[in-house]
Amino acid sequence: MEYDVIIIGSGPGGYTGAIRCAQLGLKTAIIEKYPTLGGTCLNVGCIPSKALLDSSEHFYNAAHTFAQHGIKLNDLQVDMPQMVHRKQEVVDQTTKGIAFLMKKNKIDTYYGMGSFVDAHTVKIAKTDGGEETIKGKNIVIATGSKPMSFPSMPIDKKRIITSTEALTLEQVPKHMIVIGAGVIGAELGSVFSRLGGKVSFIEFADSMIPTMDKTMGKELQRAIKKLGADFYFKHKVTKVENKGDEVEVSIDTPDGKQITLTGDYCLVSVGRRPYTDGLNLEAAGLQTDSRGKIEVDNNLRTSVPHIYALGDVIRGAMLAHKAEEEGTFIAETIVGQKPHIHYRLIPNVVYTWPEVAAVGYTEEEVKAEGIPYKTGSFPFKALGRARASMDIDGLVKVLAHKETDEILGVHIIGPRAADMIAEAVVAMEFRASAEDISRMSHAHPTYTEAFKEACLAATDNRAINM
C-alpha cells in the first residue's frame, strides 16, 4: 500500500496532523504501537492526570471549604479505586473519540511498531502478530517521549515509580517522595497532598517549576505548602532504594551533609526524553543529536526532505499543544501552503490548584536580554469573583516593553489560569499593548478582570481595585 503521508505515532501531534492531511485531500496512514490511539497525553499523561487533579480538588474542597459554604458532610472518605476507575473512563472515552475521528476522515490506522526499511518504506510489526510493509511519499515522525531517570534512581514500577504508575495507585500514599518539582512533579504531588498524603519535593534547582517565571514558582510553593508538603531545594539525590514496604532516598544537602527520607513511594519526575527507540532511523538516513532529538529545519523537515518530525522528538518545549500546531504545520507545508508557528507564544500550563499559566518572556529572560521593560501585577484576593469562590491565592503578572508598551509576557497563578492565558495569547499574537487590554471591557465579576487590572498596573500603576 502506498500513501501520500505516513505518520508514526498517534499522540496529539500525530493525530492532529493526520486529520489535517486528510482534510487537504492526502491519502493518509497512522501507525500506533499501543492498543489505543492518543499517545502519552491521552492515555497516561495530560488527560488522566487532569481527571485525578479534578477529583482530588473536589475531595479537598469537600473536606476543607464546604462547611464555610454551608454544606455539611459526615464520614468523608477517599475511594481511590473509584477515583482511578473514573479516570480510566475519561481516558477510554477520549481515545475512542480519536479512533472515531480516524474513521470519519478515512485515515488508515495500523496498530504495531513502525520502523524504517528505507527512506520511503515503513515496516509494521503488528500488535496481533505478523508484519506489513507500507510506502509513503512523505513520512512524519511523531513518536513522543518517555520519562527520564538516572542510574541513582532505578525505576522498578513498584515503589520507585514514574507518572505512569502514579496514575494507577489505588491507595493514597502515606508519604510520597517526589524527585523533581517541575510541572509533572508539582501536579501529581498536589494530587496526593490534597487527598491527605504526606508529600516531600526534592528539587536540584532553587524553586518549583524552575523553567517558569520565578514569581510563579514562589507563589505555587506557598500554595502547596498549605497542603502540608515539604520542600528540599538545591538538594541532590544520590541514591534511591526499594526496601520492600518502603523506599529510602539519600540526598546531599546544599551545605554538604547527607540526609535520608523514607516513604512508601518515590515518584521520579526529572523530565522526559525523546522516544525514537526501534524506529531504525539509520535505514532512512537519519540520526539523533546528543540529546536524542531529531534535527529539523524551519519547515520541520529532517535531513531527508520528505521526512518530517514534530513534538517531543524535536527541539522546543514538550507540550501537547505545540505538537498539535506542528502537525497542522507539516500537513499544510506538504501541500504547498505557507503556515507559521510563533513558538514564543505557545503557552505553558501547570494544572495544580491554583493553576499556573504563562506565555512569552519571563522576567529573568527580559533582564538577561537587556530588553527595557515594566511590570504590573494584580492579586486575585482583590477580586470579588475570587472571594466569592474562595480562590484567593495567586496573581497576574504582566511584562510590557518600557518604551512601546507592547506586552512581552503574561504569567498567571490562580483560579482557571489555564483558560485565562488564551486571552493573553490572542493579545500578543496581535502585538497588543498593555494599554490596549486595559481599555477593553471585561465582564464583572470574572477572574479575567485580574488580567485587565495587571495591565492597568503596568501602564502608569493605575489599577482600580488595589
Active-site positions read: 444
DSSP code of residue 283: G
Instruction: Give start and end residues of each alpha helix (H) in 282-344.
Output: 320-334
> How many residues would you count in the chain?
466
**Do 203 and 181 contact (CB within 8 A), yes or no?**
yes
H or E segment at 218?
helix 214-225
**Do 437 and 451 contact (CB within 8 A), yes or no?**
yes
**Do 13 and 324 contact (CB within 8 A), yes or no?**
yes
Instruction: Give start and end residues of each alpha helix (H) in 260-382.
Output: 320-334, 363-368
What spatial distance separates the first Cα and last Cα of the chain, rounded to whole Å?
66
Spell out the long-range contacts of 78-86 with Cβ–Cβ below 8 A and sequence spacing 24 or more: 78/172, 78/195, 78/196, 80/169, 80/170, 80/171, 80/172, 80/195, 81/170, 83/52, 83/55, 83/56, 84/52, 84/167, 84/168, 84/169, 84/170, 86/51, 86/55
| 299 Cβ contact list (under 8 Å, min separation 6) | 308, 333
**Do 147 and 312 contact (CB within 8 A), yes or no?**
no
C-alpha cell, 324: 498539535
Asked if the peptide bond before residue 379 counts as cis, ω within 30 degrees of 0, the response is no
DSSP code of residue 111: E
| 60 Cβ contact list (under 8 Å, min separation 6) | 194, 195, 227, 353
C-alpha cell, 350: 501547570
C-alpha cell, 51: 481527571
Alpha carbon dihedral 433, 442, 221, 316, in 10-degree steps, equals: -50
Using only C-alpha atoms, the chain has a radius of gyration, in whole angstroms, of 23
Question: What does DSSP say about strands 258-263 and 108-118: parallel, antiparallel, or unpaired?
Answer: unpaired
